[in-house]
Amino acid sequence: MFGFFKNKYDNPALLEEIRQTEEKWFVFMDKLETRLDELCAAAIPELIAVFNQDTDPYKRAHSRMLTGLIGQISQMQQKGMEAKETHIIPFMQASGSLLPDLMSSAGRKYHDRLYRFQMACFDRHHQFEDKVNEGIAALRSAKGNTDLEAVYQRQLREFERIKDSFNCKQCGGKMSIPKMFFIATYIQCPFCQSQNTYTPSTEIQMLFHQARSLAEQRTAHLLQDYENSRPKNPALYQQYLRAMFDEWNKITPDMVAENERFYQRLLKDHSINHY
């Protein structure tokens, strides 16, 4: 077996095919990547514009546009993947099987060339995949900032304005809402003792569901401290979580007991995952 191909293995046609395939692959990757860059660059200002134009409190038009764009990028990613699986890998495997033994001097040059081809193509593909992930991340950040604090403060002021303006529907007596309720609540008329049902405004009901996000915004710097620690310091996470929940409880004080149970659960989950 050894020495069977001692005479020089000569296959210039294969070398040329490798060269051409590699070039074609790079051209293809370049085109895809350029299209990706172009799409993202053009899309980002449009996404921001749509976010600002979107009157929906949940910004659903913006979400739809974002998922559509990511869908197109996924298409490009899939194209790259399929081309690699159809044109590069089979070619590599077929060519490799034609070559003489790697350990023979005749074979080494060709195996080297094929190996360099493989590395070049795969590296180029990884580079493209990295660009895909960067593009998607950039698109996800292309949105305005909802200033939750401003929204909250505005609602607090609005509540102060209206809280003493209610009348008992039974006797007409003046009624005050004792605190910011977020759901329909029974309130007793101080005059005729009748049970009234108070329903807060839609905006205040929505505030309830934004309370955690606001608390997270207020304590984001503490989370950052934890994220920046090397190695990750669980004490810092607990400090963040406690502070976040304290803020949450300031916004929705009626939920303190419930939030405490949730806090304990999250802490436990985190310590399980951390270790």
Partner 1 sequence: MSNAEKKNTQSYLERLKQQALSQENYGGAVKYDQANMQVYDCPECAAARAPADGLTVCAYCGFKFMTVELSDGIHIKKEN
Partner 2 sequence: MSQNPLLEPIHGITLEDYSAACAKMGSGLSEDQVATALGVEMPVWQEANLLWQERMKEDATYQIVTLFGQHFGTADQHPKFSNLQAVVSPEATGYIEKIKTDKDFYQELEVARQVAYDYGLDGASWIADQYGISLGDFQIAASLWNEQIHRDIAADSQKYMRTQDAYKEKYRQQFANTQGGNVADDITF
Task: Give residues with Cβ within 8 angstroms of 159, minimum separation 6.
Answer: 177, 180, 204
Instruction: Find the binding residues for partner 2 in span 29-68 (CB under 8 A).
Output: 31-32, 35, 39, 60, 64-65, 67-68
Determine contact, residues 9/110, Cβ cutoff 8 Å. Answer: yes
**164-195 CB burial, b ≥16 within 10 A, e <16:** eebebeeeeeebebeebbbeeeebebeeeeee
The answer to whether residue 253 forms part of the interface with partner 1 (CB under 8 A) is no
Nearer to partner 1, 64 or 140 (CB): 64
Contact 226, 233 (CB under 8 A): yes
Residue with tokens 């998922």: 67
Partner from partner 1, partner 2, none contacting 166, C-beta within 5 to 8 A by type: partner 1
Nearest to 39, CA basis, from 3, 93, 87, 77:
77
Binding mask 109-148 for partner 2 (x = CB under 8 A): ----------------------------------------
Binding mask 191-230 for partner 2 (x = CB under 8 A): ------x-x-------------------------------
Closest CA relative to residue 71, chosen from 150, 9, 135: 135
189 binds partner 2 (CB under 8 A): no
* Using rule CB under 8 A, residue 265 touches partner 2: yes
Q: Does 181 bind partner 1 (CB under 8 A)?
A: yes
Q: Per CB under 8 A, does 255 bind partner 1?
A: yes
Q: What DSSP assignment string belongs to 138-165? A: HHHH-S----HHHHHHHHHHHHHHHTT-
- Binding of partner 1 by 52 (CB under 8 A): no
DSSP, collapsed to helix, strand or coil, labels residue 226 as helix
Residues that bind partner 2 (CB under 8 A): 24-25, 28, 31-32, 35, 39, 60, 64-65, 67-72, 74-76, 79, 83, 86-87, 183-186, 197, 199, 255, 258, 261-262, 265, 268-269
